[in-house]
Amino acid sequence: EPEVTQTPSHQVTQMGQEVILRCVPISNHLYFYWYRQILGQKVEFLVSFYNNEISEKSEIFDDQFSVERPDGSNFTLKIRSTKLEDSAMYFCASSGNQPQHFGDGTRLSIL
Amino acid sequence: GESVGLHLPTLSVQEGDNSIINCAYSNSASDYFIWYKQESGKGPQFIIDIRSNMDKRQGQRVTVLLNKTVKHLSLQIAATQPGDSAVYFCAENGKGGGYNKLIFGAGTRLAVHP
Protein backbone atom coordinates (compact mmCIF):
# COMPACT_ATOMS: atom_id res chain seq x y z
CA GLU A 1 0.00 0.00 0.00
CA PRO A 2 1.45 3.41 -0.93
CA GLU A 3 2.47 5.60 1.97
CA VAL A 4 3.79 9.04 2.81
CA THR A 5 7.44 8.95 3.84
CA GLN A 6 9.25 11.59 5.87
CA THR A 7 12.91 12.20 6.56
CA PRO A 8 14.67 12.52 8.88
CA SER A 9 12.78 10.78 11.66
CA HIS A 10 14.52 13.00 14.22
CA GLN A 11 16.23 16.35 13.69
CA VAL A 12 18.18 18.16 16.38
CA THR A 13 19.02 21.78 15.60
CA GLN A 14 20.46 24.76 17.42
CA MET A 15 18.11 27.68 17.97
CA GLY A 16 18.39 30.20 15.17
CA GLN A 17 19.47 27.64 12.60
CA GLU A 18 17.57 26.75 9.45
CA VAL A 19 16.00 23.34 9.13
CA ILE A 20 14.41 21.54 6.18
CA LEU A 21 11.99 18.70 6.71
CA ARG A 22 11.38 16.41 3.78
CA CYS A 23 8.39 14.44 2.62
CA VAL A 24 7.57 12.17 -0.28
CA PRO A 25 3.79 12.19 -0.72
CA ILE A 26 1.81 9.36 -2.27
CA SER A 27 2.61 9.48 -5.96
CA ASN A 28 -0.80 10.17 -7.50
CA HIS A 29 -1.90 12.69 -4.88
CA LEU A 30 -2.25 16.35 -5.77
CA TYR A 31 -2.83 17.98 -2.39
CA PHE A 32 -0.11 18.26 0.20
CA TYR A 33 -0.11 19.40 3.82
CA TRP A 34 2.05 20.01 6.84
CA TYR A 35 0.76 19.64 10.40
CA ARG A 36 2.54 19.76 13.70
CA GLN A 37 1.93 18.16 17.07
CA ILE A 38 3.51 19.54 20.21
CA LEU A 39 4.13 16.77 22.72
CA GLY A 40 0.89 15.66 24.35
CA GLN A 41 -1.26 18.03 22.34
CA LYS A 42 -3.52 17.74 19.35
CA VAL A 43 -2.47 17.85 15.75
CA GLU A 44 -2.48 21.40 14.32
CA PHE A 45 -2.73 22.43 10.70
CA LEU A 46 0.13 24.49 9.28
CA VAL A 47 -0.29 24.74 5.52
CA SER A 48 -1.88 23.17 2.47
CA PHE A 49 -0.38 23.18 -1.03
CA TYR A 50 -1.91 22.54 -4.42
CA ASN A 51 -0.86 23.25 -7.98
CA ASN A 52 2.49 24.60 -6.82
CA GLU A 53 1.10 27.20 -4.50
CA ILE A 54 -0.13 27.55 -0.95
CA SER A 55 -3.88 27.01 -0.68
CA GLU A 56 -4.27 27.89 2.96
CA LYS A 57 -2.05 28.55 5.95
CA SER A 58 -2.60 28.90 9.66
CA GLU A 59 -1.46 31.63 12.04
CA ILE A 60 1.41 29.36 13.05
CA PHE A 61 2.79 29.45 9.52
CA ASP A 62 4.50 32.82 9.72
CA ASP A 63 7.29 34.34 7.62
CA GLN A 64 9.81 31.92 9.12
CA PHE A 65 8.09 29.01 7.40
CA SER A 66 8.07 28.11 3.73
CA VAL A 67 7.11 25.10 1.64
CA GLU A 68 8.35 23.92 -1.68
CA ARG A 69 7.82 21.13 -4.15
CA PRO A 70 11.25 21.17 -5.80
CA ASP A 71 10.60 18.22 -8.11
CA GLY A 72 7.87 15.76 -8.95
CA SER A 73 8.19 13.75 -5.77
CA ASN A 74 9.40 15.79 -2.80
CA PHE A 75 7.55 18.28 -0.62
CA THR A 76 9.60 20.24 1.90
CA LEU A 77 8.99 22.44 4.92
CA LYS A 78 11.67 24.98 5.77
CA ILE A 79 11.97 26.89 9.01
CA ARG A 80 14.43 29.74 8.49
CA SER A 81 15.42 30.64 12.02
CA THR A 82 14.24 28.06 14.50
CA LYS A 83 12.91 28.93 17.94
CA LEU A 84 12.59 26.76 21.03
CA GLU A 85 8.83 26.67 20.58
CA ASP A 86 9.23 25.07 17.16
CA SER A 87 10.08 21.82 18.91
CA ALA A 88 7.34 19.39 17.90
CA MET A 89 6.46 16.46 15.67
CA TYR A 90 5.91 17.62 12.11
CA PHE A 91 3.63 15.53 9.94
CA CYS A 92 3.32 15.64 6.20
CA ALA A 93 0.07 14.48 4.61
CA SER A 94 -1.22 14.08 1.09
CA SER A 95 -4.57 13.40 -0.52
CA GLY A 96 -6.36 12.92 -3.76
CA ASN A 97 -9.92 13.92 -3.01
CA GLN A 98 -9.98 12.31 0.42
CA PRO A 99 -8.90 11.15 2.97
CA GLN A 100 -5.59 12.70 3.94
CA HIS A 101 -2.84 10.17 4.53
CA PHE A 102 -0.11 11.00 7.02
CA GLY A 103 3.54 10.12 7.29
CA ASP A 104 5.13 9.03 10.56
CA GLY A 105 6.55 12.47 11.17
CA THR A 106 9.84 14.18 11.94
CA ARG A 107 10.58 14.93 15.54
CA LEU A 108 12.21 18.37 15.62
CA SER A 109 14.16 19.23 18.73
CA ILE A 110 15.49 22.76 19.11
CA LEU A 111 18.33 23.25 21.57
CA GLY B 1 -15.85 29.28 15.84
CA GLU B 2 -13.89 26.23 14.81
CA SER B 3 -13.27 23.61 17.41
CA VAL B 4 -13.50 19.87 17.75
CA GLY B 5 -13.28 18.32 21.17
CA LEU B 6 -13.55 15.00 22.91
CA HIS B 7 -15.55 14.11 25.99
CA LEU B 8 -13.23 11.46 27.46
CA PRO B 9 -9.46 11.74 27.55
CA THR B 10 -8.96 8.04 28.47
CA LEU B 11 -11.08 4.99 27.86
CA SER B 12 -10.21 1.62 29.40
CA VAL B 13 -11.92 -1.50 28.10
CA GLN B 14 -11.57 -5.25 28.41
CA GLU B 15 -10.41 -7.21 25.41
CA GLY B 16 -13.41 -8.42 23.48
CA ASP B 17 -15.70 -5.63 24.63
CA ASN B 18 -17.05 -2.96 22.33
CA SER B 19 -15.56 0.54 22.60
CA ILE B 20 -17.26 3.84 21.94
CA ILE B 21 -15.22 7.01 21.53
CA ASN B 22 -17.10 10.28 21.37
CA CYS B 23 -16.41 13.64 19.79
CA ALA B 24 -18.23 16.96 19.73
CA TYR B 25 -17.77 19.50 16.98
CA SER B 26 -18.86 23.08 16.86
CA ASN B 27 -18.67 24.10 13.20
CA SER B 28 -22.12 23.52 11.78
CA ALA B 29 -20.72 24.12 8.28
CA SER B 30 -18.55 21.01 8.51
CA ASP B 31 -19.64 18.37 6.05
CA TYR B 32 -16.84 15.82 6.30
CA PHE B 33 -15.55 14.01 9.37
CA ILE B 34 -12.78 11.53 9.87
CA TRP B 35 -11.32 9.31 12.57
CA TYR B 36 -7.63 8.65 12.91
CA LYS B 37 -5.71 6.23 15.12
CA GLN B 38 -2.29 7.25 16.36
CA GLU B 39 0.08 4.73 17.86
CA SER B 40 3.13 5.78 19.81
CA GLY B 41 5.83 7.22 17.55
CA LYS B 42 3.68 7.08 14.43
CA GLY B 43 1.56 9.42 12.38
CA PRO B 44 -2.24 9.49 12.34
CA GLN B 45 -3.61 6.45 10.55
CA PHE B 46 -6.91 6.74 8.70
CA ILE B 47 -9.69 4.59 10.14
CA ILE B 48 -12.98 5.73 8.67
CA ASP B 49 -14.69 8.86 7.37
CA ILE B 50 -18.22 10.07 6.87
CA ARG B 51 -19.93 12.85 4.98
CA SER B 52 -22.68 14.93 6.52
CA ASN B 53 -25.30 13.46 4.18
CA MET B 54 -24.94 10.19 6.07
CA ASP B 55 -25.56 9.34 9.71
CA LYS B 56 -23.81 5.99 9.84
CA ARG B 57 -20.99 4.28 8.05
CA GLN B 58 -19.47 0.89 8.74
CA GLY B 59 -16.05 -0.50 8.13
CA GLN B 60 -14.28 -3.58 9.31
CA ARG B 61 -15.06 -3.79 13.07
CA VAL B 62 -15.59 -0.01 13.15
CA THR B 63 -18.68 2.13 12.80
CA VAL B 64 -18.91 5.89 12.73
CA LEU B 65 -22.12 7.62 13.77
CA LEU B 66 -22.90 11.24 13.02
CA ASN B 67 -25.61 13.21 14.77
CA LYS B 68 -25.80 16.61 13.12
CA THR B 69 -28.59 17.79 15.39
CA VAL B 70 -26.32 17.80 18.42
CA LYS B 71 -23.04 18.01 16.47
CA HIS B 72 -21.75 14.72 17.78
CA LEU B 73 -19.56 12.08 16.22
CA SER B 74 -18.73 8.67 17.62
CA LEU B 75 -16.47 5.78 16.73
CA GLN B 76 -17.53 2.29 17.71
CA ILE B 77 -14.99 -0.50 17.72
CA ALA B 78 -16.40 -4.01 17.94
CA ALA B 79 -14.60 -6.79 19.82
CA THR B 80 -11.77 -4.52 20.91
CA GLN B 81 -8.32 -6.07 20.65
CA PRO B 82 -5.00 -5.18 22.32
CA GLY B 83 -3.81 -3.86 18.96
CA ASP B 84 -6.55 -1.23 19.14
CA SER B 85 -4.76 0.47 22.02
CA ALA B 86 -3.82 3.94 20.75
CA VAL B 87 -4.94 7.56 20.78
CA TYR B 88 -7.96 8.23 18.60
CA PHE B 89 -8.59 11.61 17.02
CA CYS B 90 -11.66 12.91 15.34
CA ALA B 91 -11.25 15.67 12.79
CA GLU B 92 -13.52 17.84 10.74
CA ASN B 93 -13.12 19.55 7.43
CA GLY B 94 -15.19 22.69 7.66
CA LYS B 95 -15.33 23.39 3.96
CA GLY B 96 -15.98 19.92 2.70
CA GLY B 97 -13.86 17.53 0.68
CA GLY B 98 -10.53 16.04 1.65
CA TYR B 99 -8.31 18.73 0.27
CA ASN B 100 -8.94 21.36 2.90
CA LYS B 101 -7.35 21.58 6.30
CA LEU B 102 -8.39 19.17 9.00
CA ILE B 103 -9.28 20.47 12.44
CA PHE B 104 -8.38 17.86 15.00
CA GLY B 105 -9.89 17.16 18.38
CA ALA B 106 -7.83 16.67 21.50
CA GLY B 107 -7.74 12.87 21.28
CA THR B 108 -8.90 9.96 23.42
CA ARG B 109 -6.54 7.30 24.64
CA LEU B 110 -7.96 3.80 24.36
CA ALA B 111 -6.40 1.25 26.69
CA VAL B 112 -7.36 -2.38 26.09
CA HIS B 113 -6.81 -4.77 28.99
CA PRO B 114 -6.55 -8.55 28.58
Please report residues of A whose CB lies closer than 8 A to that of B104: 42-44
Chain A, 61-90: which have a CB under 8 Å from a chain B CB? none
Top-tier CATH class for A5-96+102-106: mainly beta
Per-residue pLDDT tens over the stretch A21-32 = 999 999 999 999
Per-residue pLDDT of chain B (114 residues; tens, 9 = 90+): 344 544 448 999 999 999 999 999 878 888 899 999 999 889 999 999 999 999 999 999 999 999 999 999 999 999 999 999 999 999 998 665 546 899 999 899 999 998
Classify B83 as helix, strand or coil. helix
Strands A75-79 and A65-68: antiparallel
CB contact A1 to B (< 8 Å) = no
DSSP for residue A92:
E
Q: For the CA atoms of B60, A6, A47, B25, what is the dihedral angle to 10 degrees?
A: 30
Mutate to test the interface with B, among A5, A42, A59, A106 (most CBs of B within 10 A): A42
Domain-wise residue ranges, chain A:
5-96+102-106
Total number of domains constituting chain B: 1
DSSP for residue A85:
G
Domain with B109 in it: 4-113
CA angle B43, B10, B13 (to 5 degrees): 100
Q: What is the CATH number of the domain that holds B78?
A: 2.60.40.10
